[in-house]
Amino acid sequence: MPHPYLLHDARPRVIAHRGLVTTELAAQGIAENTRAAMTAAVAAGVHYLESDCRITSDGEVVLFHDVDLARVCGDSRPVSAVSAPELASLFADRGGLLTLREALEMFPEARFNIDIKAREVAEPAGRIIAPHAERVLVASFVDGHRRAALQAARAASGSGVRPAASPGRGALIRTLAALAAGQRKAAARALDGFDALQIPERYGRVRVLTPRLIDLAESVGVEVHVWTVNDPAEMARLTGMGVRGIITDRADLALG
pTM: 0.96
Pairing of strands 61-63, 48-55: antiparallel
The tens digit of pLDDT for each residue in 164-191 reads 999 999 999 999 999 999 999 999 999 9
Domains and CATH numbers, the chain: 8-255 (3.20.20.190)
Instruction: Look at the alpha carbons of 12, 22, 69, 60 in this order and tell me if their dihedral is positive or negative.
Output: negative
The dihedral sign for the CA sequence 165, 141, 50, 205: negative
Residues of the chain where predicted confidence (pLDDT) is lower than 50: none
The pLDDT value recorded for residue 10 is: 74
> What pLDDT does 61 receive?
98
Radius of gyration for the alpha carbons in the chain, expressed in angstroms and rounded: 18
Predicted pLDDT of residue 134: 96
Angle at 139 between CA 102 and CA 219, to 5 degrees: 130
DSSP 3-state of 112: strand
Q: What is the pLDDT of residue 132?
A: 96
d(C-alpha 65, C-alpha 88), whole Å: 15
